Structure 1
Amino acid sequence: MSRYQTDDSYLNKDTKLQLQQKIIHYHSEIISYQNKIKKMEHEFEKEKIRNKYLQEKLHEVQHTNLESYEKEIAALQAKLLSYEVALEEEKSRIQILEAKLIQPIQNVESIKIVKAEPVLRMQSLFNYSFINTQIEDDEESFISILGDFIIENLGTVPLHSPIICIRIVPINAGHLSGKIAINQSISGSQFEDSLQEEWQFVHENWKEKVKGKGEYWIKPVKQVTLNPSERIIFSNFELNLKRIVEQGSIIAEGFAYCSEIPNGIPALNKIILNM
């Protein structure tokens, strides 16, 4: 997934949120104006009743205080007129707000949801330490390294059937040992309680792979699926490396594979021993 597509997705979400906020605002204003109209209509009815009452009184008294009644009636008529004008204005405002309300709803419906593209990403690394030091002037001594090899799914899709390759260079510089089942026909139920700990060699001729290329190919005994953010660990392996001065450096390299990444990826670090 490209950065631009991610930005577009966030933009669509922000736009949708803004439109929803506008809709809430317009709804609130419409309710307010509707309440005002109801109040005005109520006042208008009251004034009509009052006007009728005064008209009746005027008819009754005829010439008694006629002038004052006529002035009061004129004032009430002017007030009624102002209420009518205000009522028309509020109705006009409601029509405008309703039109504005319809437009954001249409905009929300027209927004296309951008689906994020799946991300395929795997990471692997060594975590190790030396458990003893070399012996001076002893060319046949071994240096032991205890460590873990970690594979982690950093993508957004599951990864299936992880495989590890650990290669020692030079080929005859040492050997790898750990929790690796030699017999590949072992029942999976035997390791149900330790899925992350039990491994087996990928190839039946694994010894030839070691002798010919210095490569140890291993996989979990049971089928494994790494979901996003999950990891699997080949733990507590031991590298016994020969301390041979003429070789200069001994390097242990790691590679991780899975069904989705058949070409594999190298580990983030290497184990390097300088003689």
Structure 2
Amino acid sequence: MKQDEKLSYSRLITRTKYFQEKSLELEKELIFVRDHLQLVETKMEELQYENDAKGESFEAAQGRMQELEKELNDAHQKIKTLDEERTRLTVDLEKAQKEIGVKQKTSNDLKVKLEALEKKYQGAVSEGRIKNYEQLLTTMQNDINEKEVQIQQFKTKVKDYERRMKYRTEGNEVNNTQSTETIEKLKSLAYFNYSIIVQDKKSFIVRGDLQIANSGSMTLKNPVVCFRFRPAETAIIKGQILTVEQAETRGATSGTQWTFMDSDWMSKARDRGEIWVSPLGDVSIQPGGQIGIDNFQIPFKSEIHEPFVVEGFIYFYEQDYKIKTSNQIAISY
């Protein structure tokens, strides 16, 4: 703000204070005059009463009355003058207050503009660095999130393996006759027994079981079964197959308890079209013996306009041996 503007603003403040003080003085004087006028009127009433009581002459009373009337007129004139002066001072005071408000608004506007310019300058200097830092932080955070997802997936897999492994016997006990019979070939047969239940024109349920028979002369151990679905989005199976957590909650049961190998098996099944299951504990299939996954159900809807096929694969990892089921579940329409 310029020097002359500061002086003008100071003069306005001083002038306003003067008008306020002058108005206060006039107000006090006006009150005094009104009090005096009331006193004069009271005296006139007293004189009138005294004249009536004492019988003074009409001329003397009239003269006294004229003097009082003149004094009263002077008082009224003075009041009128004071009122006019007060009105003029009030107008000047309002004008001065408006001028002060304009000056204050102008000063505030200049202050806001100055602050905006300072922020703009500072922002122009640091905006580039901040933007680069934000991009770098965003990239780093995305990388961290991806790594955390991968770590969580690995932890889940490890947890599943650990839960399954605690049901397996410590060490692989192989009798001497089997370890020496390396020339014997492993042999197995697997097949589906199933039936199709029609619920309505668009809904079916495949109910069946998967049998795994040992037709060789060596014991087969711990089979892992893969159900492969086509189309992949139809992959779902229900029945006596549980998650490891569910199997632990239910406790020991008679026969072989089959469990899903993945905790989030359903989402993975829809992605790759495969469902993997394995026995909860150690399982051995003696020559001539067999085990099965009994009473499973596969719901299916005919909204998918292509053949529906389920294949079975059995893996014996400890013996590096695998087979495919001799038949498959197939529905065409």
* Structure 1 residue 178, shift from structure 2 partner: 1.3
- Aligned length, in residue pairs: 153
* Structure 1 residue 260, shift from structure 2 partner: 4.4
Counterpart in 2 of 1:163?
224
2:183 equivalent among 79, 93, 117: 117
2:308 equivalent among 230, 250, 265: 250
Conserved? CA contact 2:186–2:321, under 8 Å: no
Identify unmatched segments of 5+ residues in structure 1.
Answer: 1-114, 136-140
Counting aligned pairs with the same residue, the percent is 26
TM-score, with structure 1 as normaliser: 0.51
* Structure 1 residue 166, shift from structure 2 partner: 0.8
TM-score, with structure 2 as normaliser: 0.42
Tell me: CA distance 1:118–1:174, structure 2 relative to 1, closer, same or farther (3 Å): closer
User: 3-state SS of the aligned residue for 2:330?
Assistant: strand
Q: What CA distance in whole angstroms lies between the structure 1 residues aligned with 2:203 and 2:236?
A: 10
Q: Alpha-carbon deviations, 1:102-155, whole Å to 9, x = none?
A: xxxxxxxxxxxxx893120111110001122541xxxxx321010000111111
Q: What CA distance in whole angstroms lies between the structure 1 residues aligned with 2:191 and 2:260?
A: 20
Conserved? CA contact 1:134–1:243, under 8 Å: no
Is structure 2 residue 186 aligned with structure 1 residue 127?
no
* Structure 1 residue 174, shift from structure 2 partner: 5.1
Conserved? CA contact 2:228–2:312, under 8 Å: yes
1:214 equivalent among 255, 273, 290: 273
Conserved? CA contact 1:171–1:214, under 8 Å: yes
Is structure 2 residue 328 aligned with structure 1 residue 273?
no
Tell me: CA distance 1:217–1:161, structure 2 relative to 1, closer, same or farther (3 Å): same
Conserved? CA contact 1:147–1:238, under 8 Å: yes
Conserved? CA contact 1:162–1:257, under 8 Å: yes
Is structure 2 residue 261 aligned with structure 1 residue 176?
no
Could you say what the CA RMSD is over the residues aligned between the two structures, in angstroms? 2.4
Q: What CA distance in whole angstroms lies between the structure 2 residues aligned with 1:167 and 1:142?
A: 20
Tell me: CA distance 1:126–1:118, structure 2 relative to 1, closer, same or farther (3 Å): same
Counterpart in 1 of 2:292?
233
Conserved? CA contact 2:212–2:292, under 8 Å: yes
* Structure 1 residue 209, shift from structure 2 partner: 2.8
* Structure 1 residue 240, shift from structure 2 partner: 0.6
Q: What CA distance in whole angstroms lies between the structure 1 residues aligned with 2:244 and 2:186?
A: 33
* Structure 1 residue 162, shift from structure 2 partner: 0.9
Tell me: CA distance 1:212–1:243, structure 2 relative to 1, closer, same or farther (3 Å): same
Counterpart in 1 of 2:208?
147
Tell me: CA distance 1:266–1:208, structure 2 relative to 1, closer, same or farther (3 Å): same
Pick 1 or 2: higher relative contact order, CA cutoff 8 A, min separation 6.
1
Counterpart in 1 of 2:259?
200
Moved over 4 A (4+): none
Q: What CA distance in whole angstroms lies between the structure 2 residues aligned with 1:161 and 1:173?
A: 27
Q: Alpha-carbon deviations, 1:36-80, whole Å to 9, x = none?
A: xxxxxxxxxxxxxxxxxxxxxxxxxxxxxxxxxxxxxxxxxxxxx
Conserved? CA contact 1:174–1:240, under 8 Å: no
Larger radius of gyration, structure 1 or 2?
2
Q: What CA distance in whole angstroms lies between the structure 2 residues aligned with 1:240 and 1:183?
A: 23
